[in-house]
Amino acid sequence: MVLKSVGAGILALTTALAAAGCGDGTASDDGAPVIATTTIWADIASEVACGAVIPSLIPPGADPHTFEPSLRDRETLDRSSTVIANGLGLEAAVQPLLDTTDATVIEMTDLVDVIVDDGHDDDHDGNDGHDHEGGDPHIWQDPRRVIRTLDAIAAALHAADLDTCVDDYRAELTTLDGEIEALLADLPSDARVLVTSHDSLEYFAERYDFEIVGTVIPSTSTLAETNAADLATLADAIEAQNVPAIFTDAFESTSDADALARRLDVRVVPLLTGALTDDPATDTYVGMMRHNATLIAEALTP
């Protein structure tokens, strides 16, 4: 696991956003001036906006890897001045719309160190656009990385004449990070092992000291497919390390994970890894992270 680090381009980005948004805030009076691609980033932006609702292009419960936008989504983008996107290919089907919109698109993965799989440390200087080949897009699985995106989000909101409460939300996420760490503290080192349906928990594992034993789909995208050789290797690893559970995403197909779990007599534990829900317990980023951490702790406790 290797990190690709962001450079000093953040200051230039926030300055440009502020300059682009100066004025009367009427660039998209018939729509939301700021929108997000996913429910997770929409909630984070809404919290930074002191509770003002930042809409999400992708609805609750939809897998951002597979979501197909409609003509209405195109119109929504056209009425917006700023789009808060994840980047690194997460919103693959939405990307053509993002590439052609007149709105300013801010990719959160441009603002933090990202995990890459090329075996080398690369420095991202903020000037290479979308050049994150091989990077893992699931940065929100580490609250500390989310904290590092908040100033850029606040700048975008300020440019759209929206109030911001960035310090309050930064404190809330710092508290969340500590709560998750405490929740997982009693797990012994040999129990801190994760098997997932696709490669979605690398940032969680790095932050909270887990080992990723393997994935059912060896990809950061749910669009990829399994193969028999990889599943056989994974089965051997699960048995060798006595892994008690496979963690899946609640909104993706789990047939391969279910079959593997039945064969090995281990649990399948659905998590919310890519989208929020309409349930009050998991309709916020903070609630989702607490929910997932609780399920992980329960499933792995000896």
pLDDT of residue 218: 74
Q: What is the 3-state secondary structure (H, E, C) of 123-186?
A: EECCCCCCCCCCCCCCHHHCHHHHHCCHHHHHHHHHHCCCCCCHHHHHHHHHHHHHHHHHHHCC
pLDDT greater than 50 at residue 11: no
Residue 199 pLDDT grade (very low, low, confident, very high; cuts 50, 70, 90): confident
pLDDT of residue 112: 98
Residue 228 pLDDT grade (very low, low, confident, very high; cuts 50, 70, 90): confident
Span 2-175: which CATH code? 3.40.50.1980
Tell me the C-alpha distance between 136 and 205, whole Å.
13
pLDDT of residue 286: 98
Give buried/exposed letters for 35-50 (b at 16+ CB in 10 A, else e). Answer: bbbbbbbbbbbbbbbe
Q: What kind of architecture, by CATH, is found in domain 181-300?
A: 3-Layer(aba) Sandwich (3.40)
pLDDT of residue 254: 86
- Of 42-46, 96-100, 127-131, 174-178, minimum mean pLDDT range: 127-131
pLDDT of residue 18: 43
pLDDT of residue 4: 59
Output the average pLDDT for the chain. 85
pLDDT of residue 122: 38
* Nearest in space to 74 (alpha carbons), one of 46, 96, 42, 105: 96
* Nearest in space to 274 (alpha carbons), one of 165, 132, 136, 77: 136
Contacts of 154 (CB under 8 A, 6+ apart): 48, 164, 166
pLDDT of residue 28: 33
Residue 64 pLDDT grade (very low, low, confident, very high; cuts 50, 70, 90): confident
Using DSSP's 3-state secondary structure scheme, residue 18 falls into helix
User: Where do the H-state alpha helices sit in the chain?
Assistant: 9-21, 39-48, 71-78, 95-100, 143-147, 150-159, 166-184, 202-208, 228-241, 255-264, 285-300
Tell me the C-alpha distance between 42 and 91, whole Å.
14
pLDDT greater than 80 at residue 23: no
* All structural domains of the chain with their residue ranges: 2-175, 181-300
Q: Determine how β-strand 82-85 pairs with β-strand 267-271.
A: unpaired
Residue 229 pLDDT grade (very low, low, confident, very high; cuts 50, 70, 90): confident
Question: Which of 29-33, 97-101, 118-122 reaches the highest mean pLDDT?
Answer: 97-101
pLDDT of residue 132: 38
pLDDT of residue 20: 40
Q: pLDDT digits over 136-193, tens only? A: 999 999 999 999 999 999 999 999 999 999 999 999 999 999 999 999 999 999 999 9
- For residue 251, CA distances in Å to 117, 184, 270, 271 come to 26, 25, 9, 9
Q: Are the C-beta atoms of 48 and 156 separated by less than 8 Å? A: no
pLDDT greater than 50 at residue 223: no
pLDDT of residue 225: 61
Tell me the C-alpha distance between 216 and 124, whole Å.
30
C-alpha torsion sign, points 208, 211, 216, 218 = positive
Look up residue 240 and give its two tokens: 């060798």
Q: Which residue has the tokens 């979308």?
A: 130
Contacts of 197 (CB under 8 A, 6+ apart): 215, 216, 217, 222, 246, 247, 248, 249, 252, 254, 256, 257
Q: Are the C-beta atoms of 64 and 275 separated by less than 8 Å? A: yes
Tell me the C-alpha distance between 94 and 142, whole Å.
24
Strand partners, 245: 267
